[in-house]
Structure 1
Amino acid sequence: MYKKEIEEYIEAHKQEMLEDICRLCRINSEKMPYKEGMPFGPGAFEALTEALAMAESYGFSINNYDNYVGTVDLNDKDTQLDILAHLDVVPAGEGWKETEPFEPVVKNGKIFGRGTSDDKGPAVASLYAMRAVKDLQIPLSKNVRLILGTDEECGSSDIAHYYAVEKEAPMTFSPDGAFPVVNTEKGGLNGHFTAEWEPSDKLPKIVELDAGIKVNVVPGKVSAVVAGIEETILRKVADEVEVTTKIRYEIKMEGERAVITAIGKGAHASTPEEGNNALTGLLYYLLKLPLAECPQVTMLRRLHDLIPHGDTKGKALGIAMGDEISGDLTLAFSLLKVTDSGLEGTFDSRCPICSNEENVLQVVKKRMKDQGFTLHNDSMRPPHHVDPDSEFIKTLLNAYEGYTGRKGECLSMGGGTYVHDLKNGVAFGASMPETDNRMHGADEFAVVEELVVSAKIFAQVIVDLCS
């Protein structure tokens, strides 16, 4: 019902939708320091303000929850469906070639720029789905609410703020994954650990190492400073190690010191196997250098034994596992700071349905303790699963099949979305299963036609669930 009208409307507004996506993606909305009235900094505040102004200009009723979250309502009836999207982004990172991170461009059927796929593009596609239903005057007996958050990438404190005063809708989907329907999300352990030791002045030594961008990003480029090693030796070891790690090592001499930069491939921490971790690659390189034996080197050697380069399944930590529904456990070593007297690090592990605190958390805690590290976590995030036979899921899959001609099915993902803690929440779109849109990496993009068909599918879902 209304399929022809929906398709014609979205096609007629395609260019306008792309312009609105670019409008939001020009704003650097990564989390920044708090300012009064701006809980996540000026970038997130600007993106939220712009998005709500956009929605209001199209005739929607909007609400702003203390600049944590904004909402867009289709009508004033009881809400049946929440669409949960976010406007914050991860930092730009290195290695962009198609465009500058916050200068979105449309070319070759794709829209490039930070946030185009995660999650500003899908958020605008959702808004246009609501526009289609509204402007076509399709009668509804229930409301749909678009919820626009601003802290999804850094812990979702925005949504906690929102749900402290609002209740969940009976059904929720987040366009922050992939089609068809992601009804299973892995649990998680963001392992935060430390170690301390007596400093040493012996040369050669590591002077400084502070690597990583965010806990949920596989580092693509990291650096360290070493002292007391000749350039010829540094380059010789780099040539030898690169064969094993596939990491490129750049060396810049500054007097007696050298800055070593490891260049790998960034990725989302939920799919670490798709990247090449520059942090673990840098550790591998440093430990091949003729460093003076000292507690720092001993602890770094133990750390690399626990999370070696290329181990993205937690085998060395003793937590490799998997199941048919949610797949294998994944592990990404994402943050590390090393000084002359200690270290602090964090890894991101996505844990399948078969995981629990006994077979993951306690195992890691013991392994690390045995090697002199303290794991500071006392709990882990449980997995999330929604019944694939519910009417909600069936309605989503029917809409997907109707607009794509593809078979709908339920999927599992490692990345936790906004709906992870919602009873009846799933991820739904906005990219096709085979599309790697470089989420969290350089040259992030969304396929234009995938955003267009997403808007059509979302509009149909609104009609089917809220009529």
Structure 2
Amino acid sequence: MYKEKLDAYIDAHKEDMLEDLKTLVRINSQKGESQQGKPFGEGPAKVLDTAEEMLKKYGFSTQNYDHYVVTADFSDQEKKLDILAHLDVVPVTKNWKETQPFEPVIKDGKIYGRGTADDKGPAIAALYAMRAIKECGVPLKNSMRLILGSDEECGSADLEYYYAREKEAPMTFTPDADFPVINLEKGRLQKDFTVKLDAGSTGAAVVKVQGGTKVNVVPDTAVAVVRGLTKDEVECAAEKIKNHITYLLKETSEGIEITAKGLAAHASTPEAGHNAICGLVNLLADLPLDTGVGYWKAIAEMFPDDDFYGEALKVNMEDEISGKLTMNLGILNYDGNEIKGVFDSRIPVCGSDDNVTAVLDQTFTGKGFVIEEGKMIAPHYVPADSELVQKLLASYEVYSGVKGEAQSTGGGTYVHDLERGVAFGCMVPEVDNHMHGDDEFMVIDMLLMSAKIFADAIVRICG
């Protein structure tokens, strides 16, 4: 009987949901410079404050953990479930067409704006699931807590702070990935590599490179300046390269500026994008340079265009439960004195420090680079037959009408470091929400269905 009440409530509050989501999307919550009382900058602190006002307005008991996270408790009963969402967002570009990133627009059954899919929309769906249960008077035997963080995209220091003060719930899910349920997350390895390279003052040379801002994003733009060559020489080399990258050339006082344009994607699915850094280095390696050509060729050899799975680095591997290893060169900078790059690899269960980390370390050092020390973050796994996974799948099946099965991902969701956490919604694989890309959106019907699924799951677990 409770199902019909909750569904009707959520449908009746559709416009409220959308207005609350718009309020959060309008806040630019990209990570900024740390300030006193605002550990991740002005935007993340502001979005937490705004969310806390919403939570209080709807009658929930809240706590602000020094602008790292904000929580809302359903009741003062013993807690059995945490729902973990985040309100920070990835950087934006100037290539949006449907709207501006922080000016939400509803169009063709979708709501556009940065964070609508990752993760402000899912956070609102979870909030309205709680609100529906509370206002419809559905009794629960145990309480649950909504945890809203502000640093998921840049390392999850928010959760490190929170869990140093609070215990992990018996069960946790995060609406930070796909339905039905993701119970296995690949391991992660992110490392810097550097090499000293003096461009000098004469001869043909690369004098500057800037590509990427976040290692967990496939970069869609990378820029280099080359000295000592004509525009025609660079253009001739670019025309010989066959890939998915567009090269834009401009003469400047420093030399020829090369802008490589690709396609952004999440680092866990690099095959969905085209890496502008790889395309740029591919071109630099083919130029008739007098200085440093060996290092540019070495990077191009290790990270060739459209090598998404680490084949050139000899770490490509795959297993049945977690899929293929992925590799993304997310950042590359050069200031005329030092090349510095950062890569991101997502590693299946069959991967280890012996067959991945050690191989990469040896390859980079063999080519003259200094690579950062460190080991991989181990994969995360919650058994598919656990109570949490089975109850979440049951709720999903009620609303989707299809059999749900536990899935694996290369993405590091918000629960990667929690012993008893899984990812649950809000996306479906057949819809490309442009997460981490331009014109990000959430399908409104999916937002509503997600809220209903979450409400059903809360009642199954806590009721």
Write the mapping of 1:251-266 to structure 2, written as runs, cut at 5 A: 251-255=249-253, 257-266=255-264
Write the mapping of 1:147-226 to structure 2, written as runs, cut at 5 A: 147-226=147-226
Q: 2:445 aligns with which of 446, 449, 453?
A: 449
Distance 2:171 2:91 in 1: 31
Distance 1:19 1:193 in 2: 45
Q: What corresponds to 1:365 in structure 2?
A: 361
Structure 1 stretches of at least 4 aligned residues deviating more than 4 Å after TM superposition: none
Q: Which moved more, 1:130-139 or 1:228-237?
A: 228-237
Residue 342 of structure 1 deviates from its aligned partner by 2.1
Distance 1:317 1:408 in 2: 36
Residue 315 of structure 1 deviates from its aligned partner by 0.9
Q: What corresponds to 1:54 in structure 2?
A: 54
Q: Which amino acid aligns with 1:183?
A: N
C-alpha change, 1:94 and 1:333, in structure 2 (3 Å) is farther
Q: 2:345 aligns with which of 322, 345, 349?
A: 349
TM-score by length of 2: 0.98
C-alpha contact 1:215 1:334 (8 A) present in aligned 2: yes
Distance 1:114 1:85 in 2: 15
3-state SS in 2 of match to 1:245: coil
Q: Which amino acid aligns with 1:76?
A: D
1:409 aligns with 2:405: yes
* 1:398-433 residue CA offsets vs partner (Å, 9 max, x unmatched): 100001112111111111011111111000001123
Distance 1:99 1:90 in 2: 17
C-alpha contact 1:180 1:433 (8 A) present in aligned 2: no
Distance 2:247 2:210 in 1: 16
C-alpha change, 1:440 and 1:192, in structure 2 (3 Å) is same
Q: What corresponds to 2:305 in structure 1?
A: 309
Distance 2:450 2:15 in 1: 15
* 1:98-143 residue CA offsets vs partner (Å, 9 max, x unmatched): 1111111111111111100000000010000000000001111111
Q: Which moved more, 1:225-234 or 1:147-156?
A: 225-234
Distance 1:411 1:402 in 2: 18
Distance 1:330 1:105 in 2: 34
Q: What corresponds to 1:298 in structure 2?
A: 294
C-alpha contact 2:199 2:207 (8 A) present in aligned 1: no
C-alpha contact 1:386 1:426 (8 A) present in aligned 2: yes
Q: Which amino acid aligns with 1:126?
A: A
Q: Which amino acid aligns with 1:338?
A: Y
C-alpha change, 1:349 and 1:94, in structure 2 (3 Å) is farther
Q: Which amino acid aligns with 2:100?
A: E
CA RMSD across the alignment: 1.1
Aligned length: 463
3-state SS in 1 of match to 2:390: helix
Distance 1:272 1:7 in 2: 37
Q: What corresponds to 2:416 in structure 1?
A: 420
Distance 1:434 1:425 in 2: 24
C-alpha contact 1:94 1:221 (8 A) present in aligned 2: no
Q: Which moved more, 1:176-185 or 1:413-422?
A: 413-422
3-state SS in 1 of match to 2:91: coil
Residue 199 of structure 1 deviates from its aligned partner by 4.4
Distance 1:377 1:47 in 2: 36
* 1:233-290 residue CA offsets vs partner (Å, 9 max, x unmatched): 222222322xx11211111112461211111101010000000000000111122222
Q: 1:431 aligns with which of 420, 427, 448?
A: 427
3-state SS in 2 of match to 1:421: coil
C-alpha contact 1:357 1:380 (8 A) present in aligned 2: yes
C-alpha contact 2:203 2:228 (8 A) present in aligned 1: yes
* 1:169-189 residue CA offsets vs partner (Å, 9 max, x unmatched): 000000000000000000000
Q: Percent identity?
A: 50
* 1:176-233 residue CA offsets vs partner (Å, 9 max, x unmatched): 0000000000000002111124543342211100211101011001111112222222
